[in-house]
Structure 1
């Protein structure tokens, strides 16, 4: 008969393992039950987080469609963002970045935030 579960192996610091085991004992659950519940909750959290990101994006799109910027306003906004970005890069010690470097840094940061 085929197994209906799969054993996972991973490492955590001893204090995390101790706290996890203590929590399972307090709740009178197995470590497997506790892990499955934690994972389900994390999945729900990520789904809601992704949905709220989507909602924010759709709201921004709606606002832009309702009151589009003029060409002058768009150029002014672009310059302000470029100035802000340059100030932040300088404050963080990044100098002489080209467009590809900036794109890479943005994508790396966003990937880290999603992980």
Structure 2
């Protein structure tokens, strides 16, 4: 593991310390979990964006998704 620095406003740091203590975690564990969730959210956002682009190219609407999946699976 690599050590890094993080600058936070005092109020945010105090709140993080309270949450970490309440959950029986270290601040490092709390920040790692927050970053993991943020990165996961960004990956899902990128995937949703890609899906929306592909749907737009195909002229598909969100309401078409289940039908299109069923048709695809039927044709396999």
Q: TM-score range by the shorter chain?
A: 0.7 to 0.9
- What TM-score results when the alignment is normalised by the length of structure 2? 0.73
Indicate the SS of the match to 2:16. Answer: helix
Where relative contact order (Cα < 8 A, 6+ residues apart) is larger, the structure is 2
Gaps of 5+ in 1: 65-115
Gaps of 5+ in 2: 61-76
Structure 1 position 33 matched with structure 2 position 47: no
- What TM-score results when the alignment is normalised by the length of structure 1? 0.50
Aligned length: 60
- Structure possessing the higher radius of gyration over alpha carbons: 1
Alpha-carbon deviation of 1:37?
1.0
Q: CA RMSD in A?
A: 1.3
In terms of fraction of residues, the more helix-rich structure is 2
